[in-house]
Amino acid sequence: MKVLVLAAFFALACAEPIVYFREQFEDGDAWKSRWVESKHKSDYGKFVLTAGKFYGDAEKDKGLQTSQDARFYSLSSRFEPFSNEGQTLVVQFSVKHEQNIDCGGGYIKLFPADLNQEDMHGDSAYNLMFGPDICGPGTKKVHVIFNYKGKNHLINKDIRCKDDEYTHLYTLIVRPDNTYEVKMDNKKVESGSLEEDWDFLPPKKIKDPEAKKPEDWDEREKIDDPEDTKPEDWDKPEHIPDPDAKKPEDWDDEMDGEWEPPMITNPEYKGEWKPRKIDNPNYKGKWVHPEIDNPEYTPDAEIYKYDSAGVIGLDLWQVKSGTIFDNFLITNDEKFAEEVGNETWGLTKDPEKKMKESQEEEERKKREEDEKKLKEETKEEEDEDEEEDEEKEEEEDDEEEEEETDSNLKDEL
């Protein structure tokens, strides 16, 4: 018995990961036979294969890049259909917004096998949509949208995406116990239960429609003290005629009308009288609406489950193109996905950063040299101008001298 349990344990622990889909674009133009562009619209933007302006490895970092601004993109790839029933589902890919994106999608969609790839478009029914979406400073989020019984549901939590120009790894894990995890660059950024973080099911509890707050339920914590009475001398007018004011001597009642002293604020005015507050002896606390089990609620142990997945697609809009998608992986094995992430994104991320930084350093140096050159050139021009001025002055001096000689001559004559 013990042996059997151990054997079963090892079988589980050592089970080979199932790879449903993997695409790393490492065989030149051959990707074109694996990816299909939709013909739903005639002017979809073109994807090109490139490692981009900077990269960690010229070959390994080649991926699909959006190449035209202000376009919709619609490209997909098919794999052997599968159901994730009883299995963990891991969807992973890398995104690099090397164009410093202002607005555009960076997400993938997972479709059922019956998708017509040539007619794929924004409203094509999908199983899930996952990945970063950026539009202006206001939208920088990771979408996690699941289709449940024909309706798309957005996650209730805010997951901020990366918005720099480097390659980042995005991983979505959906487990058969209806839990999920989102990772960025192989680090967990969000996790929890599918039921709690999406509105797939109606709420478990609702307010009892039969229950009503009793009429005599007193929610007032403090009340006016009934014993307190207004003092008799409380009421005084707010304004009174200024007792110090005097009728001016030159006041003419007939011309100026009857004189009236100006009004001033009454120093004895006390404002409106309010009784003192005391604790309400009948206070019962806030009334809490009792809850009952929601009759509309039925638990679903298989929220995570899709009967069919068979196509992965890039269905996006981009204002500024240049995003590179790479390292697609769909598997049933979290650890394997993490390893693959380490061996792809993990290996090239630092060299990629280095290349970008050295490019920036080169650019900075070149800019400085150009500026220096420009400064020297303008200085030379200024020097030349000065020389010309000096020459002119000398000529003028000569002329003057000549004139002088002339007059001298005249005098002598």
Ligand X SMILES: *[C@@H]1O[C@H](CO)[C@@H](O)[C@H](O)[C@H]1NC(C)=O
What the block records as the tokens of 282 is 């009948």
Q: Closest approach of Cβ 345 to ligand X, in Å? A: 10
Kindly provide the b/e burial profile for residues 204-231, where b requires at least 16 CB atoms within 10 angstroms of the residue's own CB. eeeeeeeeeeeeeeeeeeeeeeeeeeee
Q: How far is the CB of 312 from ligand X (least distance, A)?
A: 23
Instruction: Please report, as a single letter, which amino acid is at residue 110.
Output: L
Beta strands at 128-135 and 139-148: parallel, antiparallel or unpaired: antiparallel
Q: Binding residue per annotation — 183?
A: no
Buried b or exposed e, range 281-306, using 16+ CB within 10 angstroms: eeeeeeeeeeeeeeeeeeeeeebbbb
69 annotated as a binding-site residue: no
Which residue's CB comes closest to ligand X?
342
Pick the closer one to ligand X by CB: 342 or 408. 342
Nearer to ligand X, 192 or 346 (CB): 346
Compute the least distance from the CB of residue 339 to ligand X, in Å. 4
Under 8 Å CB-to-CB from 72, ≥6 apart: which residues?
41, 43, 44, 45, 122, 316, 317
Does the annotation flag 20 for ligand binding? no
Nearer CB in complex with ligand X: 178/344: 344
Phi (first) and psi of residue 199, to 5 degrees: -95, 55
Beta strand residue intervals within 194-295, DSSP E: 205-207, 222-224, 239-241, 263-265, 277-279, 291-293
Please state, in angstroms and rounded to a whole number, the distance separating the CA atoms of residues 165 and 101.
8
Contact yes or no for 108/91 (Cβ under 8 A): yes
CB of 344 to ligand X, least distance (A): 11
Is 92 or 178 the residue whose CB approaches ligand X more closely?
92
| 68 belongs to an annotated ligand binding site | no
Contact 338, 90 (CB under 8 A): no
CB of 71 or CB of 168, closer to ligand X? 168
Between 342 and 405, name the residue whose CB sits nearer to ligand X: 342
Q: How far is the CB of 334 from ligand X (least distance, A)?
A: 9
Query: Is residue 87 marked as binding?
Result: no
315 is in an annotated binding site: yes
Q: Is 126 annotated as a binding residue?
A: yes
Sites of contact with ligand X (CB under 6 A)? 186, 335, 338-339, 342, 346
Minimum Å gap between C-beta 204 and ligand X is 36
Q: Does 297 belong to an annotated binding site?
A: no
How far apart CA 26 and CA 48 sit, in angstroms, is: 13
Closer Cβ to ligand X, 96 or 183, answer by number: 183
**57 annotated to a ligand binding site:** no
Give dist(CA 251, CA 201) in Å, integer.
86
Shortest distance (Å) from residue 136 CB to ligand X: 33
CA distance 267 to 270: 8
Measured at the CA of 76, the angle between CA 71 and CA 80, to 5 degrees, comes to 170
Residue ranges of the annotated binding site for Ca(2+) are 24, 60, 62, 326
Annotated binding site for an alpha-D-glucoside, which residues?
107, 109, 126, 133, 315
**Binding positions:** 24, 60, 62, 107, 109, 126, 133, 315, 326
